[in-house]
Amino acid sequence: MRTFAIVNRKGGVGKTTTAVNLAYVLATSCRMRVLLIDADGQANATGILLPKGEYAGLGALLRGYAICYDELTVHTDVEGLDVLPASEDLWALDLEAVTSDPGRSFRALRDLREAVEEDGSYDVIVIDCPPNLSTACVSAILASDAIIIPVLSDVCSTVGVSGLVEQIDDLRSIQPTLRVAGVLFNQWHRAPVVDDAMTTLREECPVPIFDTVIRRTDKVPESSWAGRAVQAWSPWCSAARDYRAWVAELLKKEGMVHE
Read off the pLDDT of residues 42-83 as tens digits, 9 standing for 90 and up. Answer: 899 999 999 988 888 888 888 777 678 888 999 999 999 999
What pLDDT, on the 0 to 100 scale, is given for residue 203?
83
Q: How confident is the model at residue 230 (pLDDT cuts 50, 70, 90)?
A: very high
- Do the Cβ atoms of 162 and 201 come closer than 8 Å? no
Q: Which domains does the chain have, with CATH numbers?
A: 2-150+213-254 (3.40.50.300)
Over the chain, what is the mean pLDDT?
A: 88
- Nearest to residue 177, comparing CAs of 147, 135, 217? 147
Q: How confident is the model at residue 241 (pLDDT cuts 50, 70, 90)?
A: very high
The tens digit of pLDDT for each residue in 114-128 reads 999 999 999 999 999
Q: How confident is the model at residue 98 (pLDDT cuts 50, 70, 90)?
A: very low
What pLDDT, on the 0 to 100 scale, is given for residue 63?
77
Is the pLDDT higher at 112 or at 258? 112
The tens digit of pLDDT for each residue in 171-194 reads 998 889 999 999 999 988 888 878
Q: Which stretches within the chain are classed as H helix?
A: 15-28, 44-49, 57-62, 93-99, 102-119, 135-142, 155-170, 192-204, 219-226, 230-233, 238-254
- Do the Cβ atoms of 123 and 34 come closer than 8 Å? yes
Q: How confident is the model at residue 204 (pLDDT cuts 50, 70, 90)?
A: confident
Single pTM value for the model: 0.93
